[in-house]
């Protein structure tokens, strides 16, 4: 596709809206990692549209938070008014066909942002920054609710170890599909569980299944995240347990991971933990506030709900995941998001290739 056609494709995507999930304006489907069934949440009232995590009412529902709360991208709480469990069967509808909107603008925009980030990493203003990008796919036929469900079910079958969700928001916010490997915070029999997940390698390289084969760059990138989480959890308890670093598989990628466990306490609220941890260096950078400011300057797209967090809060249990490997679904287009952590020794070609690999988690769900 020519560059001007690619640009036209992106403009149309921004101007489109997606039909609401149901007559109440919101609907959610989700499947927890390793689960054999999925859950449908139907709201029988308007979802709560909030501007701060602390405003969240004490009700059961589904949390859907953006990277940065704004009027355009509010924090949503979708009431759990009706819950239906379904077996993960074959969808009645075929997955939609899609064509990628190719063009030079993607790589040019990413290259400019990469160069600006590299300058700040080199001069010491940043230790790490996560630079994200988008890719636009044109759907060959209008996307229906049945097509969205078919994509969700295929993601459930394709990525059994990931948290898979389809969140249909009131117009004009559209629908979001994700298959994410990263836990932000969840309840656990021993209290709370979170993880430091960073560093990326394709599973096609079997040697990367062994920790000793990972590069110093990937190890350092993951260590920044682990150090950040360790520091913040220490504010809540002196009895935090953590696992050794290990290799974790997610779809077609390997990552480095450390698990953290916080003992139970009636004084600790889930919303407080989520607000303290988000955004971690896994999706933002180090120092966090400086990285957040730079991201707002150099990225030419709105992250919206990419790299935010979401998940169910139900009957005393909560599972909040980072919104990674996701797609924003419109009636005629899908915008896919991916990012990667940059250090001062990062190379443009390698980082671009990493984002391309991450995009395949969603792009592989569409028929060519």
**In contact, 159 and 251? CB cutoff 8 Å:** yes
E-state strands within 55-188 = 61-65, 75-79, 82-87, 98-100, 128-139, 163-168, 175-180, 183-188
At 353, is the secondary structure helix, strand, or coil?
helix
Phi, psi angle pair for 175, to nearest 5°: -125, 145
Per-residue exposure over 7-40, b if at least 16 CB sit within 10 Å of its own CB, e if not: eebbeebeeeebbbbeebbbbbbbbbbeeeebbe
Is 344 strand, coil or helix?
coil
What are the distances in angstroms from CA 14 to CA 44, 70, 137, 348?
29, 17, 13, 27
Q: Quick one: how far is CA 76 from the chain centroid?
A: 15
Q: Is 0.85 surpassed by the pTM of this model?
A: yes
Q: How many whole angstroms separate alpha carbon 272 and alpha carbon 237?
A: 14
Dihedral sign for Cα atoms in the order 317, 319, 320, 323? negative
125-140: pLDDT as tens digits: 999 999 999 999 999 9
Predicted confidence at residue 353, as pLDDT, reads 96
Segment 277-305, tens digit of pLDDT: 999 999 999 999 999 999 999 999 999 99
The answer on pLDDT for 95 being more than 70 is: yes
Of the candidates 270, 274, 263, the one whose C-alpha atom is nearest the C-alpha of residue 317 is: 270
pLDDT of residue 19: 40
Report d(CA 86, CA 108) in Å as an integer. 44
What are the structural domains, with CATH classification, of the chain? 3-363 (3.60.120.10)
């Amino acid at each position: 596709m020519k560059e001007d056609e690619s640009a036209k494709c992106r403009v149309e995507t921004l101007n489109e809206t997606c039909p609401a999930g149901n007559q109440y304006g919101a609907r959610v489907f989700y499947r927890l990692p390793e689960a054999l069934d999925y859950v449908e949440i139907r709201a029988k009232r308007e979802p709560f549209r909030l501007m701060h995590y602390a405003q969240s009412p004490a009700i059961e529902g589904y949390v859907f938070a953006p990277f940065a709360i704004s009027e355009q991208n509010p924090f949503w709480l979708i009431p759990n008014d009706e819950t239906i469990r379904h077996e993960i069967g074959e969808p009645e509808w075929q997955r939609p066909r899609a064509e990628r909107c190719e063009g030079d603008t993607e790589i040019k925009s990413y290259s400019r942002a990469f160069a600006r980030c590299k300058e700040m990493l080199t001069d010491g203003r940043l230790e790490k920054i996560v630079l994200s990008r988008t890719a636009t796919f044109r759907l060959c036929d209008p996307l229906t609710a049945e097509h969205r469900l078919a994509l969700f079910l295929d993601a459930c079958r394709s990525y059994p170890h990931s948290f898979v969700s389809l969140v249909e928001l009131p117009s004009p916010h559209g629908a979001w599909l994700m298959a994410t490997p990263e836990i932000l915070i969840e309840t656990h029999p021993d209290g709370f569980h979170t993880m430091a997940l960073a560093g990326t390698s394709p599973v096609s390289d079997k040697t990367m299944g062994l920790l000793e084969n990972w590069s110093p760059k990937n190890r350092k990138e993951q260590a920044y995240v682990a150090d950040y989480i360790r520091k913040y959890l220490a504010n809540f308890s002196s009895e935090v347990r953590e696992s050794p670093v290990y290799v974790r598989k997610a779809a077609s990628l390997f990552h480095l991971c450390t698990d953290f466990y916080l003992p139970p306490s009636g004084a600790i609220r889930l919303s407080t933990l989520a607000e303290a941890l988000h955004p971690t260096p896994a999706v933002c950078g180090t120092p966090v506030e400086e990285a957040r400011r730079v991201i707002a300057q150099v990225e030419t797209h709105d992250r919206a709900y990419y790299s935010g967090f979401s998940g169910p809060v139900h009957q005393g249990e909560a599972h909040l995941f980072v919104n990674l490997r996701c797609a924003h679904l419109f009636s005629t287009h899908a915008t896919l998001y991916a990012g990667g952590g940059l250090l001062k020794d990062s190379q443009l070609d390698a980082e671009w290739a990493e984002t391309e690999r991450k995009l395949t988690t969603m792009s592989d769900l569409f028929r060519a």
